[in-house]
Homo-oligomer: A and B are copies of this chain.
Amino acid sequence: MQNLKRCRDLAGFFLRAHSAQQLRNSTPLASGCSGLLSLRWTSHQGQDYYGSRGPRFRYIVTGLVAGTGVVLAYGLHQSKGEQAATSVTRAPSLPVYTQEEVTKHSSIDNGVWVTYKGSVYDITEFVAIHPGGDKILLAAGGALEPFWALYAVHGQDHVLDILSEYKVGILQPEDCKKQEMANPADPYSTDPPRHPALVVNSSKPFNGETPPSLLTDSYITPSALFFKRNHLPVPQVDPAKYKLQLEGLPEGTVSLTLDDLKSRFPKHTVTATLQCAGNRRSDMNKIKQVKGLNWGVGAIGNATWSGARLRDVLSFYGFGPEVAAKARHVQFEGLDQDTTGTPYAASIPLSKAVSEEGDVLLAYEMNGEDLPADHGYPVRVVVPGIVGARNVKWLGKIVVSEEESKSHWQQNDYKGFSPGTDWDTVDFKSAPAIQELPVQSAITWPEEGSTVDHSMKEVTLKGYAWSGGGREVVRVDVSLDGGKTWHVAELQNSETGQKPGPPPPPGRAWAWKLWEITIPLPEGAQELELVCKAVDSSYNSQPDTVSPIWNLRGVLSTAWHRVKVKVE
């Protein structure tokens, strides 16, 4: 913990400065404090991290969880680490260390040791290639358990395999017991119950999406079925004690209660679609493995959000030309924190935050009711037209600033890269943080692999389409033959059977459109490749294929959606 201030960029420093060759033993993980038997060990050379670009094998990582920097890519470890493995022999015994000795190894300079279930690991070399970044240093000199409890993915076999390579000793039984006593309870034990229909991509933190067949059943997605994308445990917030901090305005730090927010500012309602940057990531995984939750087409939903306008709140507390002359961003911090107290955080451009047409809300209602726990109770930011990741939930702090949020999610995640960029070459500073999302669409019906009844002579397709930045979807093209010929679908901007809603003002089309089309079945077709692609009011269209937009984080997966069905 004492290294918190030094954490940033230490990994980069380490890679430059660390040239000593090290020989190190490793054993598989002991199982609890009694697991003293080592089965194999491997010697590593800690140099030439950049020499290995052609991985000979990679772990297949599915259902991955992005967390406090703990985006997993243990393939990366293999890619870089495999050259170091030069011999495998047996280690009959390992030294026993005290917690005090372990604690001394809590910096890059002194070596980075951690403990896990009674074993001691020297992970100094691993710091630089930890897929979750230098956050791993937070555990330096101590136990991994409190950190791993936040991200269930660490419990997977391949992660334990990797850790085993760094084993250097055994924690003495007394300290081992002390640790067990101190270990926190499951931080997810107070998470709310979820609707059983959600397709769960990870349970800790909870990430679940709406099944495609339910997604377009209603124009307004029911809150219980709306996709949930949590980065951390759901915080327990007492509405009576809730305080929202506001910083960076002339009046200094201001603190608002929930009642202040509701009573001092007009209640404003916006219908807006939220989409995760990783929606449809599974299409990218089919091309080449990416890091992140394996979302299908359901990490998107449309709801009505009510609350105070952010611009009203900022104005009320002194935002004006003086602040505007300097500030460029509005940062948001959630009340959801990791074990070090680091909250989820993100920021948006000031221009969006204060624009009359921006419609940014400090929302306390979703679909006419209090925000559900999973959606940020009691207050979240809703930033229409902007990627879900900036719509910070359980809002604890707002900072008007010259700078973007320094959070991992703003700086080193949720950015797009060229398909030619890999984890060896990526420079997160080279790409802007995702804000507005590109035009998107998907087929929700029929589902992949289903069968169309030939005797019906026609097939009905349904789906959704949406674009970021308030750009209205103006057309959806649908094909039954993989994109050779195209038909124009009917668009819907209200519940089925209700009269169409009024067209949104230019640049403020925050809500999706559902679409539907019935097309005669082609003569003699035995299989159909259904395709949809949308066009927005700036006439942006979706790319044809996935490969050319593939990126190592699997975000912005907006190629034509293709669904294969049989005709019988």
Q: Known contacts being A474-B432, A543-B544, A544-B543, is A538 close to B420, with CB within 8 Å?
A: no
- Cβ of A460 < 8 Å from any Cβ of B? no
Tell me if A438 is interfacial: C-beta within 8 Å of chain B. Answer: yes
Is A506 an interface residue when CB atoms closer than 8 A count as contact?
A: yes
Most buried by B among A420, A506, A537, A549: A506
- Residue in contact with A477 in the complex, picked from B419, B439, B544, CB distance below 8 Å: B419
Contact A474 B431 (CB under 8 A): yes
Partner of A543, one of B349, B434, B506, B541: B541
Do A538 and B477 touch across chains, with their CB atoms under 8 A apart? Answer: no
Pair B486/A420 contact, Cβ less than 8 Å:
yes
Those of A423-462 within 8 Å (CB) of chain B: 431-432, 434-439
Is A416 part of the binding interface, using a Cβ–Cβ cutoff of 8 Å?
A: yes
Please tell me which one of the listed residues B416, B471, B507 contacts residue A535 in the complex, with CB atoms under 8 A apart. Answer: B416
The reply to whether B420 and A488 contact each other, CB–CB distance below 8 Å, is yes
Q: What DSSP secondary structure best describes chain A's contact surface?
A: loop
A502 within 8 A of B: no
- Is A38 positioned at the interface, with any CB of B under 8 Å from its CB? no
Interface flag for A540 (CB, 8 Å): yes
A538 neighbours in B (Cβ, 8 Å) = 435-438, 468-469, 540
In whole angstroms, what is the CA distance A477 to B505 when docked? Answer: 34
B539 & A486 in contact (Cβ 8 Å cutoff): no
- Within the oligomer, what is the number of copies of this chain? 2
Minimum CB distance partner of A537 in chain B: B432
A231 contacts B by Cβ under 8 Å = no
- From A549, which residue of chain B is reached at the shortest CB distance? B541
Q: Which residues of B contact A173 (CB under 8 A)?
A: none
Contacting pair B540 A540 (CB below 8 A): yes
Interface residues of A in 512-568 (CB under 8 A from B): 533, 535, 537-545, 547-549, 556, 558
Of B357, B418, B435, B547, the contact of A475 (CB 8 Å cutoff): B418
| Contact in complex: B540, A548 (CB < 8 Å) | no
Decide if A93 is an interface residue (CB 8 Å cutoff).
no
Contacts of A507 in B (CB 8 A): 349, 351
A486 partner, pick from B418, B431, B435, B488, beta carbons under 8 A: B418
**What is the minimal beta-carbon distance from A556 to any residue of chain B, in angstroms?**
5
How many angstroms between the C-alpha atoms of A558 and B357 in the bound complex? Answer: 29
Say if the beta carbon of A6 comes within 8 Å of chain B: no
Chain B residues whose C-beta falls within 8 Å of the C-beta of A549 in the assembled complex: 541
Instruction: Tell me whether A506 and B351 are in contact (CB under 8 A).
Output: yes
Which of B418, B432, B539, B548 lies in contact with A544, CB distance below 8 A?
A: B548
Residues of the B chain whose Cβ atoms lie less than 8 Å from the Cβ of A434:
539
B contact residues around A349 at 8 Å (CB): 506-507
Report Cα–Cα, A535/B416, bound state, in Å: 9
Number of interface residues of A (CB under 8 A): 47
* Cβ distance A440 to chain B, nearest Cβ, rounded Å: 10
Counting CB contacts under 8 A, is A393 at the interface? no
The chain B residue with its CB closest to the CB of A355 is: B357
Who on chain B is nearest to A488 by CB?
A: B418
Question: Within the complex, what minimum Cβ distance (angstroms) separates A201 from chain B?
Answer: 22
Contact between chains at A475 and B506 (CB < 8 Å): no
Chain B residues within 8 Å of A439, by CB: 540
> Chain B residues near A540 (CB, 8 Å)?
438-439, 538, 540
Q: Does A352 have its Cβ within 8 Å of any Cβ on chain B?
A: yes
Contact B486 A419 (CB under 8 A): yes
Closest residue of chain B to A387 (Cβ to Cβ) is B539
Whether B420 and A505, one on each chain, are in contact in the complex, defined by CB atoms closer than 8 angstroms, is no
Segment 213-236 of A: residues with Cβ below 8 Å from B: none
A485 touches B420 (CB 8 A): yes
Give the distance in Å from the alpha carbon of A474 to the alpha carbon of B419 in the complex: 15
Alpha-carbon distance between A439 and B434 when the two chains are bound, in angstroms: 16
Report whether A539 and B506 are in contact in the complex, using a CB–CB cutoff of 8 Å: no
A544 neighbours in B (Cβ, 8 Å): 543-545, 548
What chain B residues lie within 8 Å of A351 (beta carbons)?
A: 357, 505-507
Closest B residue to A468 by CB, please name it: B538
Closest to A556 in B: B539
**Does A537 contact B435, Cβ atoms closer than 8 Å?**
yes
Contacts of A535 on B, CB cut-off 8 Å? 416
Residues in B neighbouring A419, C-beta threshold 8 A:
477, 486
Task: From A431, A544, A545, name the one whose CB has the most chain B CB atoms within 10 angstroms.
Answer: A544
- Tell whether A315 is near chain B: CB-to-CB under 8 Å: no
Given contacts A477-B418, A488-B420, contact A537 B436 (CB under 8 A): yes
Say yes or no for A421: interface residue by CB 8 A criterion: yes
Query: In the assembled complex, which residues on chain B have CB atoms less than 8 Å from the CB atom of A488?
Result: 418, 420-421
Inter-chain CA distance A219–B108, complex, in Å, is: 47
List B contacts of A111 (CB < 8 A): none
> Contacts of A545 on B, CB cut-off 8 Å?
544
* A540 vs B474: C-alpha distance when bound (angstroms): 16
Does A264 sit at the interface, judged by CB under 8 A?
Answer: no
* Chain B residue with the shortest CB-CB distance to A487: B420
Besides the contacts A486-B548, A541-B543, A541-B549, what 6 more A-B pairs have beta carbons closer than 8 Å?
A349-B507, A352-B506, A436-B538, A438-B539, A438-B541, A540-B540
**16 pairs, CB–CB < 8 Å, chain A vs chain B:** A349-B506, A349-B507, A351-B506, A352-B506, A436-B471, A437-B538, A438-B541, A469-B538, A486-B548, A540-B540, A541-B543, A541-B549, A541-B558, A543-B543, A543-B544, A544-B545
A-B pairs, top 4 by smallest CB distance, nearest first, are A544-B544, A436-B538, A438-B540, A420-B486
